[in-house]
Chain A
Amino acid sequence: MTADTVLAPRKRPVAARPPRRPLFRRRSAIPGFGLTLGVTLTLLSLIVLIPLSAVALKAAQLSPHEFIAVAFSQRALAAYRLTFGAALVAALINGVFGVLTAWALVRYDFPGKGVVNALVDLPFALPTAVAGIALATLYAPNGWIGAYLTPLGVKAAYNPIGVVIALTFIGLPFVVRTLEPVLRDLSADVEEAAASLGASRLATIARVVLPALAPAWMTGFAMAFARGVGEYGSVIFIAGNMPYKSEIAPLLIIIQLEQYEYQAAAAIALVMLAVSFLMLFVINAVQAWARRYS
């Protein structure tokens, strides 16, 4: 998009200006523009663009009628609803607890801080299947935690709640790690200024700290959400995977693949791709708006 606007010939009044050198020939103080952009575009094409185009091409082998029948079947719609809904809820949960975790890690020194710090990164590194199995074992009706939830009438595994638990686990580090540097850079001055102007602690946090964190929070939220939408490994162990109830869209794609329904799998993938793209686009727009002053 940017490339288009830059490359488009500029219609300016023809004054006595030196002729513009073409974009790729222009000298810059930082060399290597051509090389880095070339490598970037090549890699992005090989890794992202071509595979994703293949999805679209594969899906295009279906007639419009077939496409709608497969991609918008009742079962698929339920799966989309669960996938995007659970990812949204999990990202929101992480949005709240991620702020608190980042706050605790940045603002205070406490014994075991290093361990907590490492724990936050664990969901990044752990094979997601391991996480899924561990969570399922814990939250199952007879698990360590699930056993206490059952008497309360709460079932936390093998249903949508289980999906949310798994996605919350997966998304936490994204929010914490994007907020941490911003919180660290937020100088104490600003909070002291608010206090000296008569703002209560609560007002300072609500009006000064949180708005300053908003753009980073949004980034973290978007990443956690995106990760949640795409998550497969941990969810399938705790979800129960009942069609129409607790079956996520990535699993549906796998099921179609196992039945050699490649076009159908691609059709569902294409819908997910479109929705994800749309949501990230909206989040980015909101973010740009939130950053309008800085």
Chain B
Amino acid sequence: MTISIRSVEKQFGRYPALGGVSLEIAEGELLALLGPSGSGKTTLLRVIAGLEFPDSGQVLFDDQDVTFASAAARRVGFVFQQYALFKHMTVARNIAFGLDVRKGKDKPSKVEITRRVDELLKLVELDGLGGRSPSQLSGGQRQRVALSRALAVQPRVLLLDEPFGALDATVRKSLRKELRRVHDATGVTTIFVTHDQEEALELADRVAILNQGRIEQIGAPHEVHDQPVSPFVCGFVGEANRFEGTAAGGRFTSGPVILAAAGAADGAATAFVRPHDLVLDEAGFSARVARVAVQGPLAHVDAVLADGRRLEVTAARDDAGKFSGEVRLAARKVHVFPAG
């Protein structure tokens, strides 16, 4: 199912949570809403779910206007950060809930429900745990139950609000892969909210980056990383060294730092350089190496400029030895934005 969001606005009191958001989500897509806290990403997700209603704008499922349809009527699957499992029910009853509450001829037979629950338990690799109570499960297992509960109603769209936020790093990683696998197996259009860029870039087909209630950029993970359209995106997605300075005649200058900036408009500007885009170059600006930390195949270098500012360089581990004392650096790639 495709979802269209058209100039949606939402205010909480005097605080604008969404300021005119438009977004198209394609059938079967896995989209991440990425942004810092307070950027409106959760509000947007809740508007799509029908748990929150916009002040203006429209939400369309396929071509049907659902802006003010209730959550129950939309047939969406929603997964909460804190799982929101029904504590007084077993795992199987939790998963069956969406089918159990159906009425009349929509309600599947008991046998059918049991079959469906078993199928879902298998899908999330919890076979045999149907009789447990949620309190007997680990956090990761609880979130799997929440996921299969949401999938049980065969939702038209699966919405996840910081689904891995409450879990520790190892479980997060494995659940991330799991979500991708479940998405590929079911083909359901999926939108998830996260503030973890690694999660968004690794998992999603497309990433929408939100800031202060607006979408700053939307695109494939490598697009938002390699071609950021705004200083915010550049600073938020991926690591970046940030310099304030001036651009003039295709050069960006900030104290001792001089960078090639072809095509940048003259005047005050902000430049971003990714740590892995800084390379050793005899023609470059100089910096002093403060510390080299080797991590897996990479070497993270902390360098200090002549004026005391720090910057980060990432190099191949094999080159770690070349970073000592005074070095000269140049940037392979620079993102320059006019200041303001």
Q: A187-B82, A189-B82 are in contact. Are A198 and B87 (CB under 8 A)?
A: no
Task: Say yes or no for A60: interface residue by CB 8 A criterion.
Answer: no
Instruction: Find out whether the CB atom of B88 lies under 8 angstroms from the CB atom of A193.
Output: no
Task: Say yes or no for A63: interface residue by CB 8 A criterion.
Answer: no
Instruction: Report chain B residues within 8 Å CB of A290.
Output: 88
Q: Mark A186-220, 1 if CB is under 8 A from B, else 0.
A: 01011011111111100100011001101000000
Question: Which chain A residues in 167-202 approach chain B with CB under 8 Å?
Answer: 187, 189-190, 192-200
CA distance A214 to B72 in the complex (A): 25
Q: Which of A193, A198, A208, A212 contacts B102 (CB 8 A)?
A: A198
Instruction: Find out whether the CB atom of A189 lies under 8 angstroms from the CB atom of B80.
Output: yes
Instruction: Find out whether the CB atom of B88 lies under 8 angstroms from the CB atom of A214.
Output: yes
Report the minimal beta-carbon distance from B69 to chain A, rounded to whole angstroms: 12
Task: Say yes or no for A293: interface residue by CB 8 A criterion.
Answer: yes
Instruction: Find out whether the CB atom of A203 lies under 8 angstroms from the CB atom of B88.
Output: no
Instruction: Find out whether the CB atom of B71 lies under 8 angstroms from the CB atom of A196.
Output: yes
Among residues of B, the one whose C-beta sits closest to the C-beta of A212 is B88
Instruction: Report chain B residues within 8 Å CB of A259.
Output: none
Instruction: Report chain B residues within 8 Å CB of A195.
Output: 51, 70-72
Report the minimal beta-carbon distance from A129 to chain B, rounded to whole angstroms: 42
For chain A, the count of residues having a C-beta within 8 Å of the partner chain is 22
Q: Which of B70, B82, B153 contacts A197 (CB 8 A)?
A: B153
Question: Which chain A residues in 234-291 approach chain B with CB under 8 Å?
Answer: 290
Instruction: Find out whether the CB atom of B80 lies under 8 angstroms from the CB atom of A193.
Output: yes
For chain B, the count of residues having a C-beta within 8 Å of the partner chain is 33
Task: Say yes or no for B142: interface residue by CB 8 A criterion.
Answer: no
Q: Mark A54-88, 1 if CB is under 8 A from B, else 0.
A: 00000000000000000000000000000000000
Task: Say yes or no for B275: interface residue by CB 8 A criterion.
Answer: no
Instruction: Report chain B residues within 8 Å CB of A294.
Output: 87-88, 133, 135
Among residues of B, the one whose C-beta sits closest to the C-beta of A207 is B101
Instruction: Find out whether the CB atom of B80 lies under 8 angstroms from the CB atom of A208.
Output: no
Task: Say yes or no for B23: interface residue by CB 8 A criterion.
Answer: no
Instruction: Report chain A residues within 8 Å CB of B337.
Output: none
Instruction: Find out whether the CB atom of B101 lies under 8 angstroms from the CB atom of A189.
Output: no
Instruction: Report chain A residues within 8 Å CB of B78.
Output: 192-193, 196
CA distance A203 to B100 in the complex (A): 10
Q: A189-B82, A193-B78, A293-B87 are in contact. Are A203 and B70 (CB under 8 A)?
A: no
Q: Which of B82, B84, B86, B101 contacts A198 (CB 8 A)?
A: B101
Instruction: Find out whether the CB atom of A196 lies under 8 angstroms from the CB atom of B72.
Output: yes
Report the minimal beta-carbon distance from A115 to chain B, rounded to whole angstroms: 26
Sample 22 A-B pairs with CB under 8 A, ordered by A number: A187-B84, A190-B85, A193-B80, A193-B86, A195-B51, A195-B72, A196-B49, A196-B71, A196-B78, A197-B72, A197-B98, A197-B152, A198-B98, A199-B97, A199-B101, A203-B101, A207-B100, A211-B88, A212-B88, A290-B88, A293-B134, A294-B88
Residues of A within 8 A of B (CB): 187, 189-190, 192-200, 203, 207-208, 211-212, 214, 290, 292-294
Residues of B within 8 A of A (CB): 49-51, 70-72, 74-78, 80, 82, 84-90, 97-98, 100-102, 133-135, 146, 149-150, 152-153
